[in-house]
Amino acid sequence: MTVLIHLLFVLAFTVSDTLSAAYGDTWEGVQDPEYGNVFMQAMASNNLIFVVLGVSLIIWFVLVAYLIRLEKKLERLEEKQSRQNS
């Protein structure tokens, strides 16, 4: 059992580090971005970090809006239930 744990430990730390690797500033999915669609041109012309930031902000705003909506619905249900119990 300890051999298996030791082997897993060694494998976990010998895998190449992908977080510190250098990444390019352009989208490499398109060989020639001038001939791609608008989305591909935007991805190739701008820094990719801004695209990632934009997508993550959209996800956070949608999540916050959903939670606010859910909270309002729960308040209405609690009020309705308290009126029925009174």
How confident is the model over 27-50, as pLDDT tens digits?
A: 565 555 556 677 766 666 666 777
Share of the chain above pLDDT 90, in %: 35
Kindly state the DSSP code that residue 21 receives in the 8-state scheme: S
Q: What is the pLDDT of residues 43-83, one digit of tens each?
A: 666 667 777 888 999 999 999 999 999 999 999 999 999 99
Q: What is the DSSP string of 28-86?
A: TT-S-GGGS-HHHHHHHHS-HHHHHHHHHHHHHHHHHHHHHHHHHHHHHHHHHHHHHH-
pTM (2 d.p.): 0.47
pLDDT of residue 62: 97
